[in-house]
Amino acid sequence: MIETNKTTQHKIILNIIIVLLLAFTAIQLYGIFSSPSAAVSPKRPNAIDSVQTQIQINVLNGCGMNGVGITMTKFCRNLGYDVVEMGNYKSFDVEETMVIDRSGKMETAKHLAELIGISPKNVVQQFSSEHMVAASVVIGKDFKKLRPWNK
């Protein structure tokens, strides 16, 4: 008689554990397959297409004019980009401003170029272990034609 009660108790405990595991699995599946996009607020007009993280870029002076890096940095930060470095390009004889894609996401680099006013033909891909940014903006001698200088 005592042995039958223990067996019954074990079966009840086992059934409770199975029900709890099924409930846990159902909650996990609901979380995976429910659409979180309905809860996300609409994008700002110039919002960057990323998973709510800022894209890190650097701004490089390729024309030799003082102050162009600061102007471009402020403009890009206002667009929502994270400018982590500002400096000089390897030379000051860059004729046309360009965006260098360093992450393999060419569409992201083209979007940045469009926002700045750079022609899509001036977006190039160049990978380097020296650069830890998604893209580089190299300011050329044509900088006065770009949006940061023509607001």
| Mean pLDDT, the chain, integer | 86
Top CATH class, 56-149: alpha beta
pTM, two decimals, is 0.65
Could you say which residues of the chain have pLDDT below 70?
1-3, 34-52
Q: In this predicted structure, what is the pLDDT of residue 1?
A: 53
pLDDT digits (tens, 9 = 90+) for 45-75: 444 444 447 899 999 999 999 999 999 999 9
The CA–CA distances, whole Å, from 137 to 22, 59, 101, 114, 128 equal 53, 5, 9, 12, 15
pLDDT in tens, 11-24: 999 999 999 999 98
Which of 116, 118, 146, 139 shows the shortest CA–CA distance to 62?
139
Is beta strand 98-101 parallel, antiparallel or unpaired with respect to 135-139? antiparallel
